[in-house]
Each structure stands twice: as C-alpha cells, then as structure tokens.
Amino acid sequence: MTAPEGVGSGTVTGSWTEYDGEHTYSQSFTGTWVWSVTSATSGSASGSLTLKSVLGGGAVGFVAAPADTITTVIGVDLVLPYGLFAGGSGSLAAKSLSVTFEARQIDDLGQPIGEWNVLGTRSITDRTNTSIRRSYRFSVVPGRYAVRAYRNDAKSTSSADGHVVLFAGLRAYLRKPQNFGPVTLIAVRMRATNNLSMQASRQIAVLATRKLPVWTGAGWTDPVATRSIAWAIADAARNSDYGPGMADAEIDLDALLDLAALWDARGDRFDARFDQPGTWWDQIQKIARAGRAACFVQGGVLRTVRDGLASVPTLHFSERNIQSGSFSVDYLMPTADTADTILVSYFDAVSWSEQTVRCRIPGSRAPKAAKAQLFGVTGRDQAVRDGTYLAAANQRRRRIVRFDTEMEGRMPMIGELISVQHSMPAWGAQAEALAWDGPTRRLTLSEPMTFEASGVHYLGLRRPDGSLCGPIAVTAGADAYHLILATAPDFALATGADMERTHVSFGVGTTWAALAKVADVSAKSLTQYTIQAVIEDPSVHTAEDGVVAPPVVWSQLPARATRPVVRGLIGRRSADSATKAVFAWQPAPGADSYQLEMAEGDDPSDSDVTWTRVGDTTSAAYACDILYPNRTMIRVRAVGLTAGPWVATTLGTLIPDFWIADTAPFWLGDSTPFWST
C-alpha cells in the first residue's frame, strides 16, 4: 500500500481475511491531512440487554462523545454471541428479537439538556448458532448525546435456545472533519468474526513507500519513491512542517548528489520513521548516521560529510603555522575491558524483527563486545559493513590531536583529511624553503635535515592556498641544508621575503607527517581557532572488505615493544600424572610477566568460551593441573608496558606426553630448534 505524497486524495481497495471494503486516505490542498469521516468511540457501551432494562446506570445512559464535540450521526453495535435460534425440537428453528435505542442531549459536563427520544427499533430474525454482529447508524440533531438501549422482547430461558444480545459498541460521528496535521491517515473497515480478537484489531501494519523530491543537479523532481539517505536529509532540511524549511542555497546539494550516487552503489539505505519526540538536529543526524555521515553548518550552509577513505590531504599544518604551546596528543590506551568487537542491532526488513550481528575486524579474537544500535538500517549486509567499520575505528582510531592556529582554522571542514607535522611526537621535521633551483631540482632549507641509514625519504610542501603538495621522494644534497627532489613541485615555491615562505615537512617513509581527520573546529577569537582531529588509519575503511594492514607508522621515535608477543607456545602432559601438564614458549622481548588462562573446548577463537586464570609467571614456562584432561585449551599473553595479544593452543588426547619413554636423548644433536614457531 502506498500513501501518496503531494496534493489530492484517493482510495486503495483490498481484500484480507478479516478486512474488507475501501481503505481511504485524504489530503487537503495545502498539504494538511484531513480525515473525511471521523468518529469518537465510547469506552463504556457494553453489556447484556434485558427486557425493558437500561444498561449503564439506568436513566443516565452511555456518553457517546467527549466534551466540546458535536455529533450528527450516532452508531451502535449489537452482538449475538451464540447466534439466534430455537433448538428445543432437535434442530435449529428461526427465532427473533427486537432492540430499541434512545438518545438525549447532554452538555459538556454530562448533564441532560433534553428528553429521551427514540432513535429507532431494530429487529433481528435468524436461524444460526454462529455469532451475529450488527451495526446501525442514526442521524440526530447536532449536539452531544447519551444513548441507552433495551430489549422489547423477553429473553428465552431455555438452555437449548440462542437468544442473547449484547450492546457491544457506541460511536459518535463528529460534525466536521478533524485536522490531524501533516500525517498520513488510513481508514480500515474490519469484518467482525471470531478470528478477529481485540488485540489483533489494533495491530495493523502498513508497507509505506516514502516519496520525496530528488535533486538532479539542475532542479527538483516531483515526489518519487526513494530510499536514499541523501534525499531524506534534504527533505528534512527543506520541509517547513517538521524541519526548518531551509532554502536550496542553504544546503550543499552538490555534495548530497555525489553522496547519493555513492550510497546507491553501496546499497546503503535509510528505512525508518520518527514516532518519538526529539529535536530536528538529532533526527537529521540519525538519518546521516545510516550512511556513515554527519551533518554540520558551516558558513550558513548545511553540509553533509561521509567518513570514507581519503588519501590526499586538503590542508597541511606544521610547527610553522601551529601556535607554540597549543599542541597536544591524547592517547586512548586499550585496557582489558576495551571492546574489540561490536554487537550491532538493526530492524531486519526480511524477518520484520530486531536482529543482532557480531562484527569484528579480521584477526580479532573478539573476547569483549560493545553494543550499537543502527537506526534506519534494515539490511544485514549494510549492518555488517557498518558494524565492522565501528569495530575497526574503535581499534585503530585511538589518538586525538589538538592545536591552535590562526585564520587557517577557518578553512578545513569536519571530516576532511589534513596532514600534521610536529616535533613533539616526532611526526616529521620542519623547515622553510630558502631557495629553489629548477634545473637541478635542488631545494635549500632553513633547517638541517637528518637522513636515516635506510628507507626512502619524503617531503611535503605547503601550497599558498594551504593545501599539500607531495609527498615527494628526496635524496641528500651537498649538505644537511640541501635536498634533491625526485620530481619538481606543481607550483612556484615562495622563497623570498615578500610573502610567507613555503613550509616543508621531511621524514623517512610515512613519518614525514601524520594524516588526520578533522573532528571539530572551534573559534577562540576572531583570529584564532582550535582544531581537533583523529589520527587516521586506512584499515578503518577497508576492514569491511577483509583488508586490514598493520598500523601506519607516523612517528620517528625509536620503536619499543610495548605489546610483547608470545611465540612458540607448546604444551605437553606430564608422564607422572595425566592431570598435569607443562607449557613453554619463547621469551617475549619487552615482557615483564606472563598470564595463563585455561578453558574447555577445541576452538580457542570461539567467543562463547569462558576462560579461567590459572597462573602468572615471570619465566617462559609453567606447570599446572589440567582442568579438562581431554579438551583443554590454554592461552598465554605477555605483559610489558601493556598486555600483548593472547596466543592459544590445545591440549588433549592428540598431544603426546612430554616425557617419551625411549632411549632417544631429549636434546637432539642437530640444528633443529627446540622452540617451535
């Protein structure tokens, strides 16, 4: 069923087991939804009807509509739960009953302002033991009413007869249509049978198709069916009913057009409805988050930026344009409780239920999990991609850099890739260009540069517009102040005193500067800005494809094994006891101690296994009791400045005894190493 957008009205017909007739929608010319037939239902009209007895308080009756409403039509429902028949003769015979309905006007306080008047008398004759339901409508003078009903005949006292009637429902049809605002309304008429329960009658699901205008690059189309994240963002911004009603000039439509093509190619969709109160800004961020993007306002324009793979920095910052004393780096150190897998929940479009998938990057054992809710994501493939991205970002993006700069701080946008050079974390060396010789590609610097014994050295050059040229491979010149470039830069270097000289960053390999994604830009004054960025790692964006490279080395600081790695782990049962074993491994560089844990099973990578700590030692061997003689798993990790990764092995019936009962010497006289790899 499609709820149409735009101006007009129409009718959708259909046939279901317990639903029939016409299902009507209506929309006013101004875009305000209007219900063409509106009713108010009394919650108290229910009970048995006996001869000349009025239900619901005697002379009071049932109130048909809320206060401050006017009705012109009253509707009533009768139910014969056992059917209508005479069964004393052994077979079903016809039987009849009659009910009279009366109404009188009341005021907003429920006090009567008129006399009881007969709405009508209805008679029913039938021969069936199947329940019967009848609905009747009566026109009345505009007003607010109380209604009562009574039987005109005596109820049969024979247990063989079906002669019970119930006053089951009361409705008041309001005098004029009600305006419910900019929402879609659907009227459904149900066939009342035994298969329709009260609970089921309130559980109606609608497959709604979203129709929105789409930007083509030259103009907007008429509303069309679309699941695009981009056009949901645009509609939320342009709509004046549930949004700020922004003009096209206030939205970066070109960026949305590019993102729409990217999201369509990836199969990323936003399928959700907003039925909970919230601010517009929070809701539009939820839409963008379904596409791994964020919205922000810059220069009075609403912009949308997706966190994707980027390799070319748009701006370069170095100690030449970073204010002295403002630079800082926060390292988010992992702990034993740091999650390395993500449990993402999403509403699945196939099963129509909330599903949860476990996402982790390749190579992760995933003992710790964090939870995330993907609002608007209804496809498993999209949920797995986004969950893997979140897991990779949590593992690889753990360094936050902050610094102050001058007017250059107005240039970067949130989400853009920048290059940062600073000597404190040894992210490259800096200098200014003093002279440039084009024929020989020789660059003269203001500061001396030191070459490492091995590796290719690179430099980056800051263009006059702040962007980066490079990295360009270089070799040593005549002295430390001269470099020979492999290729000439694509702009004229500024080396004189008439303008700011070209900034130069230098280092071996990837250490000439660090690449970072801008997370926030804030103004300290009219001429000073603070930039916050997260150090980038390409594996954050390639992990969803199963490609995870070693972490990028940005710093020239001497390497030290802060996460020592255990290698060559072996385990052997003791010859003296089947419940004891000896475990050994190669000493790990940088390790101060080792931790051992044991579990029952065959697969150490199983995330459902419960591990038990069995020992801590400073040596590279450990003897202990076997908790599970035939299905024991043991894992060891080294602890230095931080804890290293777990290395596991199994110990069961296939593992030989440590002491072999033969005459062969324990130490073999050949070049085979005792420690396995």
Residue 366 has a pLDDT of: 60
In contact, 147 and 138? CB cutoff 8 Å: no
Mean pLDDT of 278-286: 95
Residue among 627, 585, 586, 583 at smallest CA distance from 609? 627
pLDDT at 671: 54
Q: Quick one: what percent of the chain has pLDDT higher than 70?
A: 84
Q: Span 489-515, mean pLDDT? A: 94
Distance of CA 417 to the CA centre of its chain: 24
Instruction: State mean pLDDT over 645-670.
Output: 59
Rounded Cα distance, 457 and 473, in Å: 6
Ordered alpha helix ranges (H), 190-278: 229-238, 253-266
- In terms of pLDDT, which residue wins out, 575 or 413? 413
Handedness of CA 392, 398, 401, 402 (dihedral sign): positive
Closest CA to 425 of 400, 406, 446: 400
pTM above 0.75, yes or no: no
DSSP 69-93: --EEEEEEEEEETT-BBB-TTSS-B
CA distances from 624 to 619, 629, 643 (A): 14, 12, 22
Position 301: which residue type?
Answer: V
CA 378 to CA 383: how far, in whole Å?
8
CA 331/CA 26 separation, integer angstroms: 58
Average pLDDT, the chain: 84
Residue 473 pLDDT: 97
- Predicted confidence (pLDDT) at residue 338 exceeds the cutoff of 90: no
- The whole-angstrom separation of Cα 78 and Cα 525 is 75
% the chain with pLDDT above 90:
59
Helix (H, G, I), strand (E, B) or coil at 233: helix
Residues contacting 356, CB < 8 A, separation 6+: 343, 344, 345
Peptide bond into 471 cis (omega under 30): yes
Collapse the DSSP code of 298 into the 3-class scheme (helix H, G, I; strand E, B; otherwise coil) and give the result: strand
Q: What is the mean pLDDT of residues 193-213?
A: 75
Structure tokens at 360: 């982790």
- Match 């964020």 to its residue by tokens: 294
Position 659 confidence tier, pLDDT thresholds 50, 70, 90 = very low
- For 630-650, how does the pLDDT look when each residue is reduced to its tens digit (9 = 90+)? 788 889 999 988 888 889 888
324 burial via Cβ count (<10 Å: 0-12, 13-18, 19+): exposed
Q: pLDDT confidence of 603, banded at 50, 70, 90?
A: confident
pLDDT class for 557, splitting at 50, 70, 90? Answer: confident
Query: Is residue 326 helix, strand or coil?
Result: coil
Q: What is the pLDDT of residues 578-590, one digit of tens each?
A: 778 888 999 988 8
Model confidence at 673, in pLDDT bands (50, 70, 90)?
low
Which is more confident, 623 or 250? 250
CB-based contacts of 192: which residues, under 8 Å, 6+ apart? Answer: 79, 133
Query: Out of 47-51, 167-171, 223-227, 629-633, which region has the weakest mean confidence (pLDDT)?
Result: 47-51
Separation between Cα atoms, residue 247 and residue 254, nearest integer Å: 14
Place of tokens 């009533």: 76
Residue found by looking up tokens 């701080």 in the block: 409
For 98, other C-beta atoms within 10 Å of its C-beta total 14
Check whether 25 has a pLDDT greater than 60.
no
| Cα gap 374→372, rounded to integer Å | 7
> At residue 98, does pLDDT exceed 90?
yes
For 42-58, write each residue's pLDDT tens digit. Answer: 544 544 444 344 443 35
Q: Tokens at residue 104, please?
A: 């009188």
> What angle (nearest 5°) sits at the alpha carbon of residue 227, between those of residues 221 and 231?
45
**Position 577 pLDDT exceeds 90:** no
pLDDT at 38: 43
Lookup result for tokens 């008679």:
123
**More confidently predicted of 559 and 21:** 559
pLDDT at 4: 37
Region 491-516: what's the mean pLDDT? 94
Exposure of 165 in the CB half-sphere (CA atoms within 13 A) = 33
How would you class 181 by CB atoms within 10 Å of its CB: exposed for 0-12, middle for 13-18, buried for 19 or more?
A: exposed
pLDDT at residue number 249: 96
Task: Provide the pLDDT for residue 360.
Answer: 87
Q: Are 312 and 513 in contact (CB under 8 A)?
A: no
**Using CA of residue 384, residue 385, residue 390, residue 396, what is the dihedral sign?**
positive
In the prediction, which pLDDT does 406 show? 94
Interval 223-231 mean pLDDT: 96
| 204 closest CA partner among 193, 192, 190, 194 | 190
Nearest-angstrom CA–CA distance, 26 and 186: 8
> pLDDT at position 626, please?
84
| Interaxial angle between packed helices 280-289 and 229-238, expressed in degrees from 0 to 180 and rounded to the nearest 10 | 170
Q: pLDDT for 415-461, tens place per residue?
A: 999 999 999 999 999 999 999 999 999 999 999 999 999 999 999 99
Task: Rank 38-42, 43-47, 163-167, 500-504 by mean pLDDT and report only the highest.
Answer: 500-504
Whether residue 128 has pLDDT greater than 90: yes
Sheet with strand 353-359: strands edge to edge:
353-359, 341-348, 369-373
CA contacts within 13 A on the Cβ side of 535 = 24
Q: What is the pLDDT of residue 630?
A: 73
- Coil vs helix vs strand at 411: coil
Residue 14 has pLDDT above 70, yes or no: no
Nearest-angstrom CA–CA distance, 654 and 397: 42
* pLDDT for position 402: 97
Asked if residue 300 has pLDDT above 70, the reply is yes
356-410 pLDDT tens trace: 999 988 877 666 788 999 999 999 999 999 999 999 999 899 999 999 999 999 9
Instruction: Give residue 414's pLDDT band: very low, low, confident or very high (50, 70, 90).
Output: very high
Phi then psi dihedrals of residue 581, to 5 deg: -150, 160
Q: pLDDT of 105-119, one tens digit each? A: 999 998 999 899 999
- Residue 495 neighbours by CB distance under 10 Å: 17
Tell me the residue type at 417. Answer: L
Q: Which of 556, 538, 316 is nearest to 419 (CA)?
A: 316
Maximum pairwise Cα distance, the chain:
124
- The confidence score (pLDDT) of residue 201 equals 60
Residue 581 half-sphere exposure toward CB, CA atoms < 13 A: 28
pLDDT at res. 337: 66
Q: Residue 407: what pLDDT?
A: 93
